[in-house]
Amino acid sequence: MHLFHVYVWPLIAVLAGNCAKGSGISGTNGYVEYFPGTPDSQVIITAAHGGYLKPSSIPDRTKGCLSGSTCIWTHTCGSTSSQCTAKTVRDTKTKELATELTKALETQTGKRPHLIVNHLSRVKLDPNREIGEATFNVAAALTAFNEYHKFITDARANITGAGLLFDIHGQSHPEKWIELGYLMSKKRLNENNLEPTLSSIRSLYNSHSTNMNFDALLRGNNSFGGLLSNHGYQVVPSPGNTSPGSGNYFSGGYTVKTYGSRNGGAIDAIQIESPYALRTSERATYVAALTAVVQNFLDLYY
């Protein structure tokens, strides 16, 4: 009894305290972090562009040099080119959005999604780019990049069977719509030239292709966009906005390319690019809607 109180109870208290604070598995210097999900969760949530840390030991990502038609992404490449300008703008409040969505899903379903967060500011690291552009070949940034992607790989390995990754981003396009990226280009969406084998939800399509066509899965009433637009949001693609037309649209980046099912496997991926208001003043309502839609989508297809 005494031993328990003296040695074991403080340990339990410390562990419980850490869980309550929500600390995850930290990468080197705490630059990236993995909050493992519960074993029964099929969801991974990633936030690459919402970090705040700007350690002076990592030089800012600025411009690379143009060599032929490719960029050389180092700080010592010589004369830089405006054609190789790194994007460094923060996706405001996407770390918070991803964290709150994770918590709400845990509360609603009892299953906690896997959450991977980049705490570094995008001016120091962009883990949603190829490694060179992401890090400018700076050692500490390379370490953080590799740890961020190792965590996603770990999360995928911890999911048995089908799963779904949401890569959380923000944009400030004048259309103010939610852009869902499945690796279907704006051109293909506009021209109704859809190609499931190129998409980040290829596995989802394959497992439902006997009773559902790809068009319906991508932008029908029971697509992710269709379900989300039922909450009163403008979403592309969705039944109300089947394609971007001449509007601005992000079709999906490095993370959904690398970890979705385009190249095989049973983990699908959707990039969610939310407009500013939904990440700031209207975030609480938006998180509740997203939570319901994720749950609904999983119930329908996974």
Ligand X SMILES: *[C@@H]1O[C@H](CO)[C@@H](O)[C@H](O)[C@H]1NC(C)=O
6 touches which of Zn ion, ligand X, none (CB within 5 to 8 A by kind)?
Answer: none
Between 283-301 and 94-109, two packed helices, what is the crossing angle to 10 degrees? 50
User: Interacting stretch for Zn ion, rule CB under 5 A, among 8-16, 42-50, 151-159, 262-270?
Assistant: 42-50
Q: Smaller CB distance to Zn ion: residue 46 or 241?
A: 46
* Cα angle, residue 206 at apex, residues 202 and 207 outer, rounded to 5°: 120
User: Interacting stretch for Zn ion, rule CB under 5 A, among 35-43, 68-76, 83-91, 107-115?
Assistant: 83-91
The CA distance from 49 to 170, in Å, is 8
Residue 244: name the closest of 291, 177, 302 by CA: 177
Q: Which residue has the tokens 């290829």?
A: 202
169 touches which of ligand X, Zn ion, none (CB within 5 to 8 A by kind)?
Answer: Zn ion
Q: Which residues bind ligand X (CB under 6 A)?
A: 36, 154, 157-158, 221, 239
Q: In angstroms, what is the minimal distance from the CB of 276 to ligand X?
A: 29
Count CA atoms within 13 Å of residue 79 on its CB side.
0
157 touches which of ligand X, Zn ion, none (CB within 5 to 8 A by kind)?
Answer: ligand X
Quick count: other Cβ atoms within 10 Å of Cβ 189?
22
Hey, what are 258's tokens? 């690398």
The CA distance from 87 to 89, in Å, is 6
Q: Which residue has the tokens 């940034």?
A: 141
**44 pairs with which residues across the strands?**
114, 165
The CA distance from 297 to 262, in Å, is 19
- Residues 37, 44 contacting (CB under 8 angstroms): yes
Q: Smaller CB distance to ligand X: residue 133 or 154?
A: 154
Q: Does 167 bind Zn ion (CB under 5 A)?
A: no
91 touches which of Zn ion, ligand X, none (CB within 5 to 8 A by kind)?
Answer: Zn ion
Q: Smaller CB distance to ligand X: residue 239 or 265?
A: 239
172 touches which of ligand X, Zn ion, none (CB within 5 to 8 A by kind)?
Answer: none
221 touches which of ligand X, Zn ion, none (CB within 5 to 8 A by kind)?
Answer: ligand X
Hey, what are 66's tokens? 């143009």
Q: Does 122 bind Zn ion (CB under 5 A)?
A: no
Q: Give the contacts of 121 (CB within 8 A, at least 6 positions apart).
A: 51, 52, 53, 54, 88, 90
Q: Smaller CB distance to Zn ion: residue 33 or 77?
A: 33
Hey, what are 204's tokens? 């989802």
Q: Smaller CB distance to ligand X: residue 221 or 285?
A: 221
The CA distance from 43 to 60, in Å, is 33
36 touches which of ligand X, Zn ion, none (CB within 5 to 8 A by kind)?
Answer: ligand X
Q: Does 49 bind Zn ion (CB under 5 A)?
A: yes
Q: In angstroms, what is the minimal distance from the CB of 134 to Zn ion?
A: 12
User: Interacting stretch for Zn ion, rule CB under 5 A, among 82-90, 107-115, 167-175, 198-206?
Assistant: 167-175
Out of 63, 169, 186, 262, the only residue in the binding site for Zn ion (CB under 5 A) is 169
List of residues contacting Zn ion (CB under 5 A): 49, 91, 169
